[in-house]
Amino acid sequence: MASVSEMYDVTWEEMRDKLRKWREDNHRNSEQIVDVGEELINEHASKLGDDIWIIYEQVMIAALDCSRDDLAWTCLQELKRQFPGSQRVKRLAGMRLEALEKYEDASKQYDSILQDDPTNTAARKRKISILKAQGKSAEAIRELNEYLEQFVGDQEAWHELSELYINEHDYGKAAFCLEELMMTNPHNHLYCEQYAEVKYTQGGLENLELSRKYFAQALKLNNRNMRALFGLYMSASHIAASPKVNATVKKANVKYATWATNQINRAYQGNVTNRVPGC
């Protein structure tokens, strides 16, 4: 099989830079990371300098995603050798055990980290991930709530909790989590839009009107958010069609829906190279 550098005609520097970009953008394109990273490690380790350690970490996690335990093990050994006793490396060892579905051993690993450092948030979150992997949603939710009482500013955790609630169809609690996120991130159009989706799903006229407002807000924050645009159209249309609204409200929502339709059509026309179906 041809090497990555041969297939794509890239230098080792370009491969290293690509890995860095993927790290910075938090891409989880694990197969590509394994392809590029493995070659970099095998052929060019000596040239990478201190970068190699973070590359080992990145490649190890990608290897776990791809069931490449051989590669993950190699990376882990290198990291253990270089950073003996490191909590960060211990966590990686725990993740490997998770990937092998050895959840009890993984949990013990994280417990040992927490014994030395009870504030180690990474280890606590991994323990919650184990519960999620085992399908123990109720427990995961409980643990995550406890975690958030202590670490109330952890946005990633609030977002994870909102997802867990959504999967359990507990939309009210999901909305609460998203409200927290919107409060601390008032300019984030994604949280606004997701909140609107939750409200829409809850249903009922009040929630629909709220959802329309938040779809509109998301659009104000980012006028290219297509979900917000579609959401505005859907919510306004449903409100206009509801028998419970008076003529004024109906008229206003027909106006919003029409505006949204025009914007949607413009968005599609601006992007047509091939015909885009359905719109």
Partner 1 sequence: MYNRNVSPSAKKSQPKLEWRSEHTSKEKKKDSHSIPILCVDCIPLFHGTLALAPMLEVALTLIDTWCKENKYVIAGYYQANERTKDFRPNQVAEKVGARIAENFSEAAMIMVDSTRFTMGCYEPILAIYDHHENKWKCRDCNVDSFEDWCEAQKITSALLEGRSYESLIDFDNHLDDLRNDWTNPEINKSVLHLC
Q: How far is CA 191 from the centre of its chain?
A: 12
Name which of 110 and 200 has its Cβ closer to partner 1. 200
The footprint of partner 1 on residues 238-257 (CB under 8 A) is none
* Amino acid in position 227: R
Question: Out of 234, 239, 257, 260, which residue is the one contacting partner 1 (CB under 8 A)?
Answer: 234
Stretch of 74-82, 138-146, 200-208, 252-260 contacting partner 1, by CB under 8 A: 200-208
Binding of partner 1 at residue 153 (CB under 8 A)?
no
Q: Alpha helices, DSSP H only, in 83-150?
A: 87-99, 103-116, 121-133, 137-150
Counted residue by residue, the chain has a size of 279
Q: Is 271 exposed, middle or buried (0-12, 13-18, 19+ CB in 10 A)?
A: exposed
Binding of partner 1 at residue 180 (CB under 8 A)?
no
CB contact set of 4 (below 8 Å; sequence gap of 6+) = 10, 15, 35, 36, 39
Residue 226 Cβ vs partner 1, minimum distance, rounded to whole Å: 5
Q: Are the C-beta atoms of 114 and 123 separated by less than 8 Å?
A: yes
Binding of partner 1 at residue 173 (CB under 8 A)?
no
Which whole-number Å values give the CA distances from 33 to 22, 63, 122, 251, in the listed order? 8, 8, 22, 53
Name which of 44 and 264 has its Cβ closer to partner 1. 264
Question: Out of 85, 135, 153, 172, which residue is the one contacting partner 1 (CB under 8 A)?
Answer: 135
Name which of 200 and 256 has its Cβ closer to partner 1. 200
The footprint of partner 1 on residues 68-97 (CB under 8 A) is none
Which whole-number Å values give the CA distances from 278 to 15, 85, 264, 268, 275, in the listed order? 40, 58, 12, 10, 9
Binding of partner 1 at residue 230 (CB under 8 A)?
yes
**What x-and-dash track marks residues 259-278 binding partner 1 by CB under 8 A?**
--------xx--x-xx-xxx
Stretch of 8-16, 79-87, 105-113, 223-231 contacting partner 1, by CB under 8 A: 223-231
Binding of partner 1 at residue 37 (CB under 8 A)?
no
CB contact set of 221 (below 8 Å; sequence gap of 6+) = 187, 188, 189, 192
Q: Is 27 helix (H, G, I), strand (E, B) or coil?
A: coil
Question: Out of 58, 74, 109, 211, which residue is the one contacting partner 1 (CB under 8 A)?
Answer: 211
Tell me which residues touch partner 1 (CB under 8 A): 25-31, 65, 122, 125, 133, 135, 156, 159, 163, 166-167, 169, 190, 194, 196-198, 200-201, 203, 211, 226-227, 230-231, 234-235, 267-268, 271, 273-274, 276-279
